[in-house]
Amino acid sequence: MNANLTRLVASAQKPSRRIIGLMSGTSLDGLDVALCRCEGHGPATRVQVEQFRTVPYTDAIRQEIRRVFARREVELQHLTLLNAWLGRLHGHLVLDCLAEWNIEPGAVDAIASHGQTVFHAPRHQHGLPDWPDATLQLGDGDHLAVQTGILTISDFRQKHVAAGGQGAPLAVYGDYLIFSQPGEDRLLLNLGGIANFTYLPGSLAAPDVFSTDTGPGNTLLDAFVRMYYPTQEYDEGGALAAQGTVHPALLAQLLAHPFFAEELPKTTGPELFNPDYVRAAQARTATGHLSPLDLLATLTEFSAAGVALAVERAFGAQRPFWAYASGGGMHNPVLMAALQRRLPQCRFATTEALGIAPDAKEAVLFAILANETLAGEPMPIGAGQQRVPAVALGKISFPG
């Protein structure tokens, strides 16, 4: 047998594995690196986060990604170069983190790399009836594996699409394994660039588990903050939105897109929710004159409204939940207050209360996905209409 396969089988048979989860989301704020100890697999999975760091992206890195990010037309050479360049960059950043933590690469079983989404194209968004759902993440796993000498599992979203999903959200698999609690209906709410939630029934009925994007989280806020306040990357503490007033007609127009009326689960991205989308809604409502502060207040309310609409659509307006937040948006009190006002039946906490630091959560979930790819069985959750395919996700790259 090939020596790589022998090592792979040995790793899959271990009672516990050390896996580095990597996530760089749509906000382009940096690479989240979570060193996890994953014990067991399936519902018996136990995860302990041994180390976590967000390595911030420099402006130069962000600029290179933005040349292709969510753009319908790009320079093909740049896209090609970026795939290898990001793979190497992520490999370097992993090695830097390991050196800082005093851990040898040989002490790590695997890297679970999400890669950088550069274009997300579910059918409802590209609108081309003869073409499938599709999504593209860059930062090829082979580069990470060779750079670090660590087995790498990457490109998790393609199998999801191939097996009938939209390529997202994937958090549902890990959420189900580590956050399900008998007797408590839970929502795991991630407020990243795009917002999404996973529903975990207290009955533990696997077929009912599902996950959906709800619309923008921070992506529009970030884009307009950068536009109006070039020295800032985001609305720190919601300080700007807090000084503005929500414009009801613009808010209604922003919510008029068919995305919000569509069946759950669904997925989206900045390909749809971008400044052009907002400008078009402003043109339709003659609100082009709105001050930056009022616009940010309206966009913050828009994000909260998207989440509330999806929750109501799925469960009605009455059903109580514990909602455990994660993602950068939970640091924005204006957004959190709007959510609480629109979902009075929910009680809010963060995943800290469940033992996982909210900023680390997505990176940890990819480590868990890789752990399942190595040692688990496909999970029978969200069967059928919920579009959560029961398949092992990710591609395996050997270091040699």
Ligand X SMILES: Nc1ncnc2c1ncn2[C@@H]1O[C@H](COP(=O)(O)OP(=O)(O)OP(=O)(O)O)[C@@H](O)[C@H]1O
Ligand Y SMILES: CC(=O)N[C@H]1[C@@H]2OC[C@@H](O2)[C@@H](O)[C@@H]1O[C@H](C)C(=O)O
Backbone angles phi, psi at 252, to 5 degrees: -60, -40
Beta strand 194-200 with 110-121: parallel, antiparallel or unpaired?
unpaired
Work out which of 21, 192, 244, 265 binds ligand Y, going by CB under 6 A.
Answer: 192
Residue 26 Cβ vs ligand Y, minimum distance, rounded to whole Å: 5
Q: Which is nearer to ligand X, 194 or 323 (CB)?
A: 194
- Per CB under 6 A, does 332 bind ligand X? yes
The string over 340-363, giving b where at least 16 C-beta atoms fall within 10 Å of a residue's C-beta and e elsewhere, is eebbeebebebbeebebebbbbbb
Q: Distance between alpha carbon 301 and the CA centroid of its chain, in Å?
A: 21
Which strands sit side by side in the sheet containing 194-200, from one edge to the other?
A: 210-216, 194-200, 186-191, 321-326, 346-350
Q: Cα dihedral sign for 170, 300, 117, 60?
A: negative
- Which of the listed partners (ligand X, ligand Y, none) does 171 bind, with a CB threshold of 5 to 8 Å by partner kind? ligand Y
Task: Give the interface segment with ligand Y, choosing from 104-112, 177-185, 193-201, 371-379 (CB under 6 A).
Answer: 193-201
Which residue lies nearer to ligand Y by CB, 113 or 267? Answer: 267
Could you say whether residue 190 binds ligand X (CB under 6 A)? yes
Q: Which of 25, 32, 26, 30 is nearest to 70 (CA)?
A: 26
Cα dihedral sign, 155-161-166-170 = negative
Return d(Cα 180, Cα 195) in angstroms, integer.
Answer: 20
Q: Which does 331 bind (CB under 5 to 8 A by kind): ligand Y, ligand X, none?
A: ligand X
Which listed option, ligand X, ligand Y, none, makes contact with residue 218 (CB within 5 to 8 Å by class)? ligand X
Name the binder of 332 from ligand Y, ligand X, none, CB < 5-8 A by kind: ligand X
Q: Which is nearer to ligand Y, 322 or 366 (CB)?
A: 366
C-beta of 214 vs 282, nearer to ligand X? 214
Q: What span, in angstroms and rounded, lies between the C-alpha atoms of 73 and 88? A: 25
Residue 30 annotated as binding? yes
Contact between 168 and ligand Y (CB under 6 A)?
Answer: yes
25 a known binding residue? yes
Name which of ligand Y, ligand X, none residue 122 binds, using a CB cut-off of 5 to 8 Å depending on partner kind. none
The residues, ordered by sequence, that sit 6+ positions from 18 with a Cβ below 8 Å of its Cβ are 35, 36, 37, 38, 50, 107, 108, 109
How far does CA 226 lie from the centroid of its chain? Answer: 21
* List of residues contacting ligand X (CB under 6 A): 25-27, 29, 190, 192-194, 217-218, 221-222, 234-238, 327-329, 331-332, 362
* List of residues contacting ligand Y (CB under 6 A): 25-26, 117, 120, 135, 167-171, 192-194, 196, 213, 267, 269, 362
Binding-site residues for ATP, in ranges, read 25-32
